[in-house]
Chains A and B, each alone.
Chain A
Amino acid sequence: MNLDSMDRPARRTRYFTTGLACVVYGFLLVPSIIVMLISFGLIAGPGQGGGTNPTLRLYAEFLSSPAWMQSVWHSVFIAFSATILSLGIGIPATYGLERFAFPGKNLIRGMLMTPLAVPTIIISLGIYFYFSTLGLINSFAGLVLAHTVYVTPYVIMTLTAGIRKIDPRLEFAAQLMGAGRQRVFWCVMLPQIRPSIIASGLFALLMSFDEVVIAWFISGVQTETLPVRMYSSIQWEISPLIAVASTLLSAVSFLACLVASRVRPVEGGDSF
């Protein structure tokens, strides 16, 4: 139905909803835009003078601040380690869930998805208690392990969608022609789901890089991640460098969103 064929009330309601939708798009996007403007000095952030000239001064300050840069490297290290680990356990697990028949499968599948159903604050609390007794608080090993289980359900969901799209008859054919289980896995299945592996790896990377609640509970001074540093900084000092860190995180999210719009990942909603 094009606009010309519609009568006036129809057109008016259409304009009305479009207008309303645009206001909401604006509301959703305004935080990212604001932090970007502050980081480039186009708006004076809190605790800054009135100067509003485009400048990269804050970026220079951020890059030369050992405390901020260190938290960035911590986050990068933890995110990469957690991603590799979660792919390492997630790819075989998804394969097993999709290609083997065994009793109690739904129970196992549900168990692997627990971190989705339980609020992060509860998981953080449990891990905090548990890691305290194990001496893993304020350790990279602890953070990597915690982030691995946090991102694994998303990895499994993305990979499941990928595996369900490929034709299992190819694997069957390979088997008939004498390929063993392992060979089928490595040479037939894996190459076919490579796009989903890349996508799920990127999600894992970004989710771990963004994660704040678990890290807030179990990281310490020596292992402070970028989100944790931002969190305490917003709470206590409101340094204008938070704008740079935020822009950095937004850029990372933009990447995630590009990936997401290409592969249609975990949609929100029914995952809870």
Chain B
Amino acid sequence: MTTPAMTRDRTGALCTIGPAAVFMVGIVGIPLLYIFYVSFNGLHFSFYAYVTLLSSRLFFQSLWSTFETSILATVLSVLLGYPVAIHLARQSPRRRALMMILVLMPFWTSILVKSYAFTIILGRRGLINSALSYLVGHKVALPLLFNKFAVVIGMANYLVPFVIFPVLASLLAIDPALGRAATLMGAHPLRVFRQITLPLSLPGVIAGASSTFIISLGFFVVPALLGGRHDVMLANLVDFYTRETLDWSAAAAIGMCLLAIIGLCGVMAATLRKVRRA
């Protein structure tokens, strides 16, 4: 892409991009390398931190919990996001822009606000239990908070918009004539959905699900506030080792593992998308 105004002015490029590059290297690049360095115990090079992790039950428990929670949250987000995308795709552009606010508003709402609200909704004396108690007539105290259920609900509440945007984009790209033709030839709406809408929107679903899953893996606030002791995810373990036990090399090693897992999933998602496109 060469525009008339695009020039090969190295000094110009250096002067404009330089400051931002210095910031990124200085405040993100060096710290990332520093985690790597700390994870191998700095100058006294050793694999000790990693070896310790391999024998740590807590680590494997939270590794498993991270995957389990992320998969559940992704599945729930896709199930919740898909109908909304269908609904939005059906609206006229004007109405769609208006209804998008219903999705954008939660998208921009702080994760803290959501977590706080869910402690109130799901708590032992929370809104759901109070409503149930009122309906049943005697006290109900379902354990809805501080468990995996609460974490998955809270995460899905945050993640649904990340599914809606790409699915909506791929739904809008479908030629509406396809569905109309199928309907005219007598196809039941469910069949139209199964044979036209769903397959053609699959790229959007894959994009949404993979980004949702990858974001889930690094979740920190929701499991800390809505989860119990057994729902600790890797990000919380990083926090625990940094602040509670002050074991920097363990925290760094867990951080490197999390980064490797997320990087691997990112590469896998990218290849999946490329394979589908080819």
Contacts and interface: CB of A to CB of B under 8 A. Distances in A.
B31 A120 contact: no
Interface of B: 2-10, 12-13, 15-17, 19-21, 23-25, 27-32, 34-35, 38, 80-81, 83-84, 86-88, 90, 97, 100-121, 123, 125-127, 157, 160-162, 165-166, 169, 180, 183, 188-190, 193, 207-208, 211, 214-215, 217-218, 220-221, 224-225, 235, 238-239, 242, 248, 251-252, 255, 258-259, 262, 266
A95 B16 contact: yes
Which bracket fits the contact residues of A? 35 or more
A29 B104 CA distance: 10
B40 to A, nearest CB: 13
Contacts of A90: 20
Given A90-B20, A213-B220, 6 more contacts: A21-B83, A32-B113, A96-B17, A112-B20, A114-B24, A168-B3
B207 A129 contact: no
Given A99-B7, A126-B28, A35 B117 contact: yes
B116 A212 contact: no
A93 B102 CA distance: 34
Given A129-B252, A253-B110, A102 B10 contact: yes
B189 A9 contact: yes
Q: For chain B, what secondary structure do more than half of its interface residues adopt (helix, strand, loop), or is it mixed?
A: helix
Given A31-B109, A96-B17, A20 B83 contact: yes
Contacts, number: 297
Interface string A150-179: 001000100000000000110110010000
A243 B239 CA distance: 26
Contacts of B103: 25, 28
A145 B160 CA distance: 31
Nearest to A175: B5
A250 B114 CA distance: 10
Given A89-B19, A92-B16, A168-B5, A38 B120 contact: yes
B107 A268 contact: yes
